[in-house]
Amino acid sequence: MNLSTHYYVLSLSEHKNMLYEAFRDSLIDIRNTWFPFESVKSQVALNDMQLRAHLQTVDHHFAHYYEQDPMGMVLIGTARNRAAFASVTAYPSIIIGNAEGDYLDTSLADLGSIVWPIVKEAMASAGGKLGRDLAAATLDHNVVVGIDAVVQSVDSGVGATLLVEDGYSVEQRAGFPFMENGDNVVDYIIEKVLALGGNVIFVHDGSLSKFKSIALILKRT
């Protein structure tokens, strides 16, 4: 499973299938040769064999994107459609989580509010109880606090767990890693921690006020 704030959302149905590229709770509707993908039997209910064949084609279309940009995926659709897709997909290990229901007529903003909590929960689960170890790490002087200190530490790979307030955002400025102006430095840190095998736990805004909204628990040496 590839945990990241950048991920795919695949919406399944018997007739029309949609693919989205997501960054946190912002979604982009992918529309080109491969998606949306509609069944040739758009007005007919599919039996189990037909459904698996249909969703296997959806998976082949998805492969066009995944092979170019491998990321995790949130799967949405009915239990039957998700189970059928899981039985034929070449990428079962990348599924971060699932959302039950038909969301074809749901706005991108509303869909983002549904799928992003699923990804955050997966990140928190990967961190396990480490979120509760912040106080102990502070007593042991085993934590760096605040955006400037975290930026200085994250590239060394010493971070085990990053705790960050959900709405915390810091724009690129002098002294921070090279990115485009206006980029969110917090997102850079999140991706770096995950890429180096660490965990990320999102917490409610204000709950890390004593830690300047962001804290990095260090790996024990």
**Is 164 a domain residue?**
yes
**Is 12 a domain residue?**
yes
pLDDT tens for 84-135 read 999 999 999 999 999 999 888 899 999 999 999 999 888 877 665 555 678 7
- Return the CATH number at 201: 3.30.1330.30
Verify that 91 and 12 share a domain, yes or no: yes
Domain count, the chain: 2
Among 85, 82, 73, smallest CA distance to 8 is for: 73
**Is 135 a domain residue?**
no
In this prediction the pTM is: 0.79
CB 168 within 8 A of CB 209: no
**Is 111 a domain residue?**
yes
pLDDT tens for 19-40 read 999 999 999 999 988 999 987 7
Whole domain around residue 207: which residue ranges?
A: 140-218
Verify that 107 and 147 share a domain, yes or no: no
Q: How far apart are CA 10 and CA 77, in angstroms?
A: 9
At residue 41 the predicted structure's pLDDT band, cuts being 50, 70 and 90, is low
**Is 72 a domain residue?**
yes
Could you tell me the two tokens for 196?
């180096």
Verify that 27 and 113 share a domain, yes or no: yes
